[in-house]
Amino acid sequence: MARRRVVVALAGAAAVGTAVAATAGAAPIPPKPADPVPLGVRPPASLAEDGAGRAAALAPSRLMVTFVDRPTAPVARRRLGGVGTVAPLLPEAGVWSVAPRERRTARAGALALGGVVGAEWSLRRQPALLQRPATPAAPGPVPPFTDPLFTPERQWGLFQTGLWGPEITGQAARPTIAILDSGVDSSHEEWRGPGSPLVAPRSTIRRNANAGDWGRSGHGTHVAGIAAAPANGVGVVGVAPASGATAAVMPVQIADAAGRSTDETMIRGIRWAVRRGAKVINISAGGPGFSKAFEAVVLWAADRGVLIVSSVGNEGDLENGLNYPAAYQRVLGVGAQCDAEINADCPRRFGVARFSNQNESVDVVAPGVNVISSLPRRVSERVVAPGYGLKDGTSMAAPYAAGVAALAQAGNGGRLSADQLRRHLENTATDLGVRGRDDRAGHGAVNPRAAVTLRAPADDLDEVNDDIKYLDDHHRPARGRPLVLQALIDEHDDSEDVYAVVLRKGERLRAQLTHRRGQIDLYLWQPGTRTVSTDHPGNLVVNAVEFSGGNGRREVITYVAKRTGRHYLNPFARAGQDRYTLRVRVT
């Protein structure tokens, strides 16, 4: 989780009467990185009405407010009543939506309230589809019932040597995949008829069950087909073929006819999908701008075993900036892999496309060039047969990875946490180019067969435990005997761990963190701290004690409790990834 600057320096420890011991020569405590959120961000301009003549209802003037706690509706309305009209967004994670009375002062007014850690405008997002010039195509024959487009020439991503095969798709019932997009065309031959695999449809724009694909480009139907088109003798086959309710697809419409969505429509879609049983959520859209509210939603979903997969964007040969939600920790960010054709976008066969963003958000890459899938029949761009066409972009790569995630979850008995599943796809990816993770290809190209057949890594301790409000319990070391905690931490995917430790007044705590690689800091926070990730005046760490071990591999804190209560030990990955051991002794 991204960090704001912590204002309490080591000298502050002495002010509250604490004793801090460290390895000799420890450097002064560096500030923790600031959240990548622009403080003066302006709401985007109003969106035009969609093709049906309705207001797109994408709410660019709504403010998303995140609390350190999870207030009830009456409490949230009382706290925010002076700012504007309050509505739930994801109350389970302490996130509420406000229609402000005065837009000019609303954000500052919300941030000035006690218990508020974030207030951001609901920013506009765009599909990560690479636009190609339309090329007219002659109508093809009506597909026979033999999945006629399931060929090495058409579905090259499923025919790479040894990576995928029908035998890895039916080992066990896979979990539901939610497609958050422009909707799915339920009248399409891939998706209609008795036993349709489409379940729990929802439009977060219309606020009803009409989740048909109203997008002008058919983006949602195309994305759904890549992930899960049924092996039904029609058209194409998805990576994780849908089959009735046992291998379902959940269409959630979050975008208007032009493909525009916002943080709010995405958040409402995530909430709908999680509460109705989806375990993999695909979002082939994004844009710049970090949001504390969206970060809280990602952690809430991960805590419920749901992996969010998202496209990293198509500006790799231009500005190459971070796009969200792919850039949030715990989200699997997917870049685009080329096919065998060499051209300006693809200088190397099966390499990373030049247009694919190359930055810290890239976790894996997957087929994203000349990808065929289902389309509403009204769409004419790059059609190869009625109802089927080609598209390019990281939008196409993300659902491939989402399908692999669903197959991997099924292959591991459906028991993997979201963190396990994400790390498993990263660990089993085929490295491309530079050895190890890099910003171009992440951990490499997703490998469906390896993800399904190889054992997943062990689950991490106590996850999700990125901040205090996510903690359900606490530790109480036996007096005189050490409590030993072991976990993985990663600056890109999981930079924060928080453990609650109950101390009685006068007890002496000794906490020692050891690790082999990277840089991991260790912090101790006093009772009454509400969040370890902000310096906002309303929630703060005025009683915090902190210590950084610099580049060393051993950090030690000693501390005598001034009062009884829950204290918080907080390892923080400043650089790299490693497993650590935290030994806690109370005397």
As annotated, the active-site residues are 181, 219, 395
Give every CB contact of residue 562 below 8 A, 6+ residues apart in sequence. 16, 17, 18, 505, 526
Q: In what order do the strands lie in the sheet with 388-391?
A: 371-374, 388-391, 383-385
Q: In whole angstroms, how far apart are CA 177 and each of 182, 191, 250, 375?
A: 15, 14, 6, 19
At how many degrees (to 10) do helices 263-275 and 292-303 cross?
10
Question: Which is nearest to 324 in space by CA: 573, 60, 37, 532?
Answer: 37
Report helix, strand or coil for 572. strand
Side chain identity, residue 451: A
108, containing H or E segment:
helix 103-111
Listed residue (216, 144, 211, 142) closest to 179, CA to CA? 211
> Nearest Cα to 547, choosing from 556, 559, 560, 537?
556
List, in order, residues 6 or more apart from 32 with CB less than 8 Å away: 3, 4, 5, 6, 521, 572, 574
Give dist(CA 181, CA 125) in Å, integer: 11
In degrees, to the nearest 5, what angle opens at C-alpha 360 toward C-alphas 358 and 366? 55
d(CA 209, CA 221): 16
